[in-house]
Amino acid sequence: MKINDTYAVNIEKLSNQGYGIAKIDGIVAFIENSCPGDVLNIKVTKINKNYVFGEILEIIKPSAARIEPFCPMQKVCGACQIQFIDYEQQLNFKKEIVEDAMHNIAGMSLSIKKTIPSPQIKNYRHKIQYPVSQTKNSKRIIAGYYKPASHEIVNIKYCPIQPEICDKIIEFIRENAKNCKISGYREKNHSGILRHVVIRYSEKNHNCLVTLVVNSKNAAENIKDFCRVLFDKFDEISGVCINLNFNKTNVIMGNDTICVCGKDYIEEELCQKTFHIGSDTFFQVNPKSAENIFNYIQEFIKSNYDSPIVLDAYAGISAIGICISDCAGKVVSIEENKKSVEMAIETAKLNNISNIEVHDGDAGEYFKNEKRKFDVVILDPPRKGCTLESLNYAKKLCKGHIIYVSCNPATLARDLKILKEMNCEVESVQPFDMFCHTYHIENVAIIKVL
């Protein structure tokens, strides 16, 4: 087999990265923009030791699940990898991805529940993070998502998975930033001013918090002036901030954020609770799907416990803990991001919640020093999952159930295998579609501590 060799293949399933999987003489081939059931002519584009990558030359016979994507930029924009697949089939394929992870990584033949759909499949993304640059010759500012596996920006004028007002704000920034002598960032030589535009949107109030991430150690007056122009232009903007990020890094936001106009937060409502969300505090990008998850957790707790003591680890702004506080005797929340901790305390006060105890610190370190036992331990770690030490302490501190919320089936399966080896019983895994039209899957696993 050589680069540019062509083959006719049948796509069997989706990988956990959204590639179609085929077999060529027993070798696994990953094909972008392909769908289980497709019969394709493909060209080999990259060869690794145990697998290859290919691109579609011709669709000989399309899968019954293949549809025309509703966004014309789907193939060139890296945001919606599987938008060309019928939504009901997306849910089925995501369930299969979770089943494969449980079988191949965790070694469990667990029956996975049907993926719970997102209440919205368009305009659902309420956090937008557009990288910004500018063209070499015309100096035209561009903003959008990166092409797959690249740092080349696709200049997005319209994105149907986010609220329409976000497109209007981004377009205004593109067209008018130069009037305030603001240039786009050039990654190659770490020059230019505007690196990212970050927008948080509120479904409750239909307004936005806009943050300009700048390649600077201070907020220059021309940038502040542009913030004021932006604030005055749109009634839907409740606040404009500047975030300072002078580091040569792929991390989007720096540590310092300055509110120039209006409020430095938006309000959102989940589970009949009001949340204040800042530009750099973690909150789920799809609030309606997040509410499904929080209600699911709350119903499980209500059905199995009477006023339990709950530990909410990796808590962010304690969204889960606050949403389940009505059915808990006490919620103990632990989070290492100080701004998120401050927001959690403020949100608890805002909602008159008195049974939540918020701690600032690393979850692993907190586990070491905690002497109490908890009826329920909620784990909601980042994509990399939990450390072995954290899993050990979570089991040690729990006398009932561990509820593990994960956005990565692979690390979830790895950690469930470890918990099973610690004499825990994995009772169920429920997938939720938090990120429609992408390969990402949110899961809630219920684990009984024996």
**Any idea which residues carry the catalytic annotation?**
407
Secondary structure string (H, E, C) spanning 301-336: HHHHCCCCEEEEECCCCCHHHHHCHHHCCEEEEEEC
Q: Which helix (H) or strand (E) holds 446?
A: strand 442-449
**Which runs of consecutive H residues, i.e. helices, occur in 138-286?**
164-176, 221-233
Cα–Cα distances (Å) from 170 to 29, 75, 134, 167, 278, in that order, read: 38, 21, 14, 5, 19
Contact yes or no for 386/415 (Cβ under 8 A): yes
Q: Please state, as a whole number, how many other Cβ atoms lie within 10 Å of the Cβ of residue 39.
A: 15
d(CA 374, CA 248): 43
Rg for the chain, CA atoms, rounded? 23
Q: Starting at the edge strand that comes first in sequence, how are the strands of the sheet with 330-335 ordered? A: 356-360, 330-335, 309-313, 374-379, 398-406, 442-449, 424-432
Closest CA to 290 of 266, 309, 264, 316: 316
Contact yes or no for 400/308 (Cβ under 8 A): yes
Contact yes or no for 159/167 (Cβ under 8 A): yes
CA triple 313-317-323, angle to 5 deg: 80
Give the single-character DSSP code of 29. E
Residues 6+ apart with CB under 8 A from 360: 335, 336, 338, 341
**Ramachandran angles phi, psi of 438, nearest 5°:** -120, 170
Amino acid at 304: N
